[in-house]
Amino acid sequence: MNQQKRIDKVLDAVETRIQAEVGALLGADFSLGGGERKLVSKEEAFDSLQGKQICAQMDITGEVTGKSCLLIGIKDAILLGGTLIMLPAAELKEVIGREEYSDEIEDSYGEIANIIAGSFTKDFEELYPKSCRFVRKEQEILLPVKVDIDADTPVANGTYYQFVSSMVLDGHQMGNLVLLMPAATFELQDERNKEQPSKETVVARSESKPVAGEDSRQDTLTETAVAKKPPAVAKFDVVKHQKKINRLLAECQARIEKEVAILLGTDITLSNLENRILKKEEFFEDHVSGRQVLADMEVAGEGEVKSYLAMSVKDAIHLGGKLIMLPPAELESVVSAQDFSVDARDAYGEIANIISGVYTAVFEEQYTEKLRFIRKELRDIEPAKVDVASTEPIPDTTYYVSSVSIAVDKKQLGRVHMLFPATLLRLADEQEETAVPEKEQHRSAEKESLPPAEQTAGRTAAVSTAGGNSAARPSQAEAKKQQKIIDKILAACRDRMAEEVSALLGTEVTLSNLENLIVGKEEFFFDEVTGKQVIANMDVTGELEGKSYLSIGLRDAIRIGGTLIMLPSSELDSVAAAEDFNEDTQDAFGEIANIIAGVYTAGFEEMYPRKVRFIKTGLQQVAPMKVDIADAEPFPDQDYYLSRMDLALGTHGLGKIHLLFPADLLQLDGLRGGSDGADNEAGVSTSAAVGGGGPASGQEPGRAAGGDSSGLLDILVVGDDDAEARKIAAVLGESGYAIKILSFKDNLHGFIPGKLKAIYLVMQEVNEQAFGVAIKISSACSVPLIAAGPGWTRTKVIKAVKYGVRDILLTPASQEDIRENINSNLLEMAA
């Protein structure tokens, strides 16, 4: 019989015996199972453990000898020991929470360890051909991350057969019971570690022997070379070290969730932990938007090193308000107003103290170096106004950023970010951090050789003056960078506009499928809008001056204004159908336009580096087909950055809202191309239909309306299930695809076939209307069509395939289901 199979048969019997004997000792239902057995190195064994462990050393005596050890998490050891001495449930829970491994509990767990050692002895004596006994020795509390691999404690550095089994006590899932058995003692060979001759040895053996008389000289030269050779230095394994750090951060997440929940007396959920290396610029441009609260955390004993805790102001107010027990209505009000009062700030400071304490505890317990995090000041920052080259609010260096999503009482908030200098965690080389790229050195030298006046001119060349906004046209690369900033602001304004207009009208206003793109005047009036429009002029004042415009369909303007003045629903339907935009309705809509102007003023003041205000100055009605493009009315013929979104009042879907900003005003005129040799393309857009302000990370901008609108698109998502469509679009965006979301009512022919890779048909119900759209798509192109919907039956699937559907996605679908569908239909097809 294979030796490993023989050992496994013995271990199966041991597992059964431990269950029975420990269960009988405790007077409780105790079970083991679901573990694994494999050969591991000492380093691999301790790398797989997390948190404090109770290690019971075991001597193996008899015909075979060696040293083994039994490992179990400290909380599990306390639970077993406390159960044996019959601690009351409340007291047991308390000592487990404090990880209080008292002498009494140590003794009682020692008895259980004796039983386990005895179980190994009995079954090995009965079933193994060579006699051996397992004798339990001393216990110790150890931290796996601090175990010296080269030392002989708790076991020597070598190969072990690892026995792992999951424990359950009275239905309560515990951690793992782990036993390390020396592989050599039980004649188990680790094929991975069999010694292979080195390349140098092979070469030496292949060479001919030295001629007579040269042997002694050869020996002397070899000895000298060996003496001069410096000792080998073990290479630091960054990948393995990063995995250890990630395990510590997962432990921090679990503890923060628990301790903040206890402090607030409410349910806290932290999820979607992501750890990544980021530069300062990447963090502030791509990972946060809107006002943030930054808590400085000084790292004790590390000089001037600091880590930073970042969270949106709204979320900080929400947490602080919970701690000081603000009534729900008042809490909602101060969060909406971003009123970070002294009381709320102090309360959030207490929460930040708890969080810093968790990081300190985990890193002191489980990291190779003791790191203490001491919370210092809280600062409000605007990501869009951060100067990357400055040392404020954080130095320009590389950070290891640990981010989690937070929910309070099942209400989903935003993301919380902890930024550690990468060098602090040994995830970056300090020399790399201080090195200046060669190109930058040359640029700096050239700059210093210029006269001061020319240096100043260089700095201000790309910045428009307050009066006329005259500026050098930005390159396409510069414009795309600026576009990211603007898109974040527009997404935040969209969300705030929905909140404030809803509050004003007393009904829910939904603004969805946000898209931002460059258009000309002709494109806007001939391709973007149909039917009469109401245009609100908005003067732009402050450090930038100009005009922007709010455009909405006349009937939608009447519905919004009529809702504000509380027209009965029948009368509202009548005046909207008759396009009766009377004085009262105009005044009411004007108030809403004032609110919208205020929203964009607040958004740009908070998030844009320059102070800008939007002031509503007048309303005008326009018939798009009658607009003279060459005329300056209703606005000049130039490039605009258009922000458009779908509007719904309550459950009633209306048309689109359009906001137009002169492209040069926002330094986005370079998006048209041409300044750095790029093609002069029209209609370059970013879609936020997936629920955010800009494209998903890694997503290329896709072209939307106007002209060849499918030119840069990869995927069309067509349907009447908005929630599922946005979910699918979000996952596609994360995979780097350019997406466009359309409804069943939209004209599809402007988008197909183009260069599309696939079309997703997303249905609330799998019915004839949906199949009609499928027929329309499959008859117009041969692009793979994937149908997503609920309640699929065999008949419906057959019918879908008949009408050109390539694959089915059952909704509601998880992100994992969607990714799997993408992989099978797009990645495999591309391969």
Dist. CA 656–CA 443, nearest whole Å = 47
Please tell me whether residues 673 and 723 are part of one structural domain.
Answer: no
In a domain, 546, yes or no: yes
Please tell me whether residues 49 and 115 are part of one structural domain.
Answer: yes
* Amino acid sitting at position 462: A
pLDDT tens sequence across 542-562: 888 899 999 999 999 999 999
Number of domains in the chain: 4
Q: How far is CA 462 from the centre of its chain?
A: 34
Please tell me whether residues 479 and 395 are part of one structural domain.
Answer: no
pLDDT tens sequence across 472-487: 567 777 888 888 889 9
pLDDT at 29 over 90: yes
In a domain, 611, yes or no: yes
Last residue of a domain, one of 377, 404, 433: 433
pLDDT at 828 over 90: no
pLDDT at 798 over 60: yes
Q: 663: which residues sit within 8 A by CB, 6+ positions away?
A: 518, 638, 639, 640, 641, 669, 671, 672
Using a CB cutoff of 8 Å and minimum separation of 24, what contacts does 792-800 make? 792/766, 796/766, 799/771, 800/766, 800/771, 800/774
Please tell me whether residues 715 and 691 are part of one structural domain.
Answer: no
pLDDT tens sequence across 609-634: 888 999 999 999 999 989 999 899 99
Please tell me whether residues 695 and 712 are part of one structural domain.
Answer: no
Last residue of a domain, one of 433, 456, 481: 433
In a domain, 208, yes or no: no
Q: What sign does the CA torsion over 600, 606, 612, 617 have? A: positive
Torsion angle, alpha carbons of 457, 460, 466, 468, to 10: 70
In a domain, 458, yes or no: no
pLDDT tens sequence across 673-717: 543 433 333 344 554 433 333 333 333 333 333 333 444 678 889
Dist. CA 483–CA 491, nearest whole Å = 12
Structural domain that includes position 503: 470-699
Torsion angle, alpha carbons of 93, 99, 102, 108, to 10: 60
- Which of the residue ranges 44-53, 343-352, 748-757, 817-826 has the most confident prediction, judged by mean pLDDT? 343-352
Q: Mean pLDDT over residues 802-809, rounded?
A: 86
Q: What is the 3-state secondary structure (H, E, C) of 777-805?
A: HHHHCCCCEEEEECCCCHHHHHHHHHCCC
pLDDT at 230 over 50: yes
Dist. CA 557–CA 565, nearest whole Å = 12
In a domain, 454, yes or no: no
Please tell me whether residues 106 and 248 are part of one structural domain.
Answer: no
Please tell me whether residues 477 and 556 are part of one structural domain.
Answer: yes
Please tell me whether residues 522 and 419 are part of one structural domain.
Answer: no
In a domain, 464, yes or no: no
Please tell me whether residues 504 and 650 are part of one structural domain.
Answer: yes
Please tell me whether residues 411 and 517 are part of one structural domain.
Answer: no
What CATH number is attached to the domain comprising 660?
3.40.1550.10
pLDDT tens sequence across 654-664: 999 999 999 99
Torsion angle, alpha carbons of 92, 95, 101, 107, to 10: -20
Beta bridge partners of 807: 786
In a domain, 736, yes or no: yes
Residue bearing the bigger pLDDT, 477 or 377: 377
Residue bearing the bigger pLDDT, 609 or 76: 76
What would the DSSP string read from start to end of 403-438? EEEEEETTEEEEEEEEEEETTTTTSS-HHHHHPPPH
Burial 312-324 (b: 16+ CB within 10 A, else e): bbbbbbbbbbbbe
Last residue of a domain, one of 433, 458, 481: 433
Dist. CA 761–CA 771, nearest whole Å = 9
CA angle 770, 771, 777 (to 5 degrees): 95
In a domain, 187, yes or no: yes
> Is residue 815 helix, strand or coil?
helix
What would the DSSP string read from start to end of 87-146? --HHHHHHHHHHT---HHHHHHHHHHHHHHHHHHHHHHHHHSSS-EEEEEEEEEEE-GGG
Name the region of 303 (left: φ>0; alpha: ψ -120 to 50; beta: rest).
left
pLDDT tens sequence across 156-190: 999 999 999 999 999 999 999 999 999 999 998 75
Please tell me whether residues 682 and 716 are part of one structural domain.
Answer: no
What's the predicted TM-score (pTM) here? 0.56
Can you list the alpha helix ranges (DSSP code H) found in 435-547?
A: 438-449, 452-460, 476-505, 521-523
Predicted local confidence at residue 231, as pLDDT: 52
Predicted local confidence at residue 163, as pLDDT: 94
Please tell me whether residues 675 and 754 are part of one structural domain.
Answer: no
The overall average pLDDT reported for the chain is 82
Dist. CA 557–CA 564, nearest whole Å = 11
